[in-house]
Structure 1
Amino acid sequence: MTKSPLFEAPHHTEFCPKCGAPLQLKQGKKGLFLGCSAYPACDYLKPLQTSEAKILKVLPQACPQCGHSLVLRQGHYGMFIGCSHFPECHYIAHEQTETNEAQQQSIPCPVCGKGHLLARRGRQGKTFYGCDQFPRCRFNLPHKPETQPCPKCGYGLSFQQQDGRYQCCNKACRHHFQRD
């Protein structure tokens, strides 16, 4: 009579569809994944955990693209409204007021000169302003920029603080001043 262990892990090996080498279980900053054992010659990855957004509430409005209902979701970068049939339909409702303001007042990027500064949302849901040429240009500001030049250094952008004064957006200057 042979004794078999109570808990025995099934042993099956998956192979890389690119090169045929065995896949290894690895831990990354976004969780577990299978990576090719021939890395760095082969860069195949297979995530094991799906990062789906949680549905918080079903909304009465219909998706303008496919007609299914819209849902409020909690995703990686905060809450958003999107289509309930996500993999098939990729509709996401954006705040119209912010987009219209950004289109009306287009401020050119002072670093690259090619892009324009747009309002974006960070991971915690905070709004910041960054260059639309990202990742080539990484210029960003935590506050809404205005084309008010700094009287000290002459830098063309500043932002208004809560007390009504302005601050220069040049990181080397940061001069506080009143608007003329």
Structure 2
Amino acid sequence: MSQTLFTPTKHEKHCPQCGEILQLKQGKKGLFFGCSAYPKCNYLQPLQTPHESKIIKPLTELCPECGQLLVLRQGHFGMFIGCSGYPHCHFIVHDTPTEQAIPKEITCPDCRQGLLVPRRGRQGKIFYGCDHYPKCKFTLPSQPFSITCPQCKCPVCVEKKAAVYQCVNKQCKHLFNHL
């Protein structure tokens, strides 16, 4: 066998902006090439392609824009329904909240200035947080209700089971029935 097959070779990549050598670096989203002249040059080159959505299941409905089949996809922010003709057709089915799903205006029990609003997390799951974020970082995993806790008088509770509520006050966490 030839020895040239097993000899390591060094490939240097150069920054297209300033011409310096690119270095392999570790970031919170994984490995990437960064310019060795940082902070004068802030050029970055990802090693991986951006996260694409995966097709989970083809559906029987047709796209209203192009007529191709719709598919259930798993994307960066959770599951969604989109056109199978992507990237030529960008149709996505957006879930519209119903009147019952939209909570009434509930004041944040932590800062008492902001309102609790629904937000979508990294995995696509809905949670509720104060609209004065980042000043107030209060969050709830489920929908808040404007029901006063009988033990500590906190004005906000979350439903644990049917007609069983829990106080959102971290010192209380009282479970009670509400009729």
TM-score by length of 1: 0.72
Counterpart of 1:106?
Answer: 104
Counterpart of 1:57?
Answer: 57
Counterpart of 2:76?
Answer: 76
Q: Provide structure 2 residue ranges, at least 5 long, that are not aligned to the other structure.
A: none
Percent of residue pairs identical = 48
- Report the CA distance between 1:158 and its aligned residue: 0.2
- Report the CA distance between 1:28 and its aligned residue: 3.0
CA deviations over 1:140-170 (Å, ceiling 9, x no partner): 2112211112233332210122263221112
Counterpart of 2:118?
Answer: 118
CA distance in 2, matches of 1:60, 1:90: 18
Q: Does 1:14 align with 2:19?
A: no
Counterpart of 1:165?
Answer: 164
CA RMSD after TM alignment? 3.3
SS of the aligned residue for 2:100 comes to: helix
- Report the CA distance between 1:20 and its aligned residue: 4.4
SS of the aligned residue for 2:5 comes to: coil
- The alignment of Structure 1 onto Structure 2 pairs a total of residues equal to 174
Indicate how the Cα distance of structure 1 residues 41 and 55 shifts in structure 2: closer, same or farther if over 3 A, else same: same
Counterpart of 2:178?
Answer: 179
TM-score by length of 2: 0.72
Aligned pairs (5 A) from 1:85-100: 85-86=85-86, 90-96=90-96, 98=97, 100=99
Alpha carbons 1:106, 1:117 under 8 Å: kept? no
CA distance in 2, matches of 1:45, 1:152: 55
CA distance in 2, matches of 1:129, 1:9: 53
- Report the CA distance between 1:174 and its aligned residue: 1.5
Alpha carbons 1:60, 1:69 under 8 Å: kept? yes
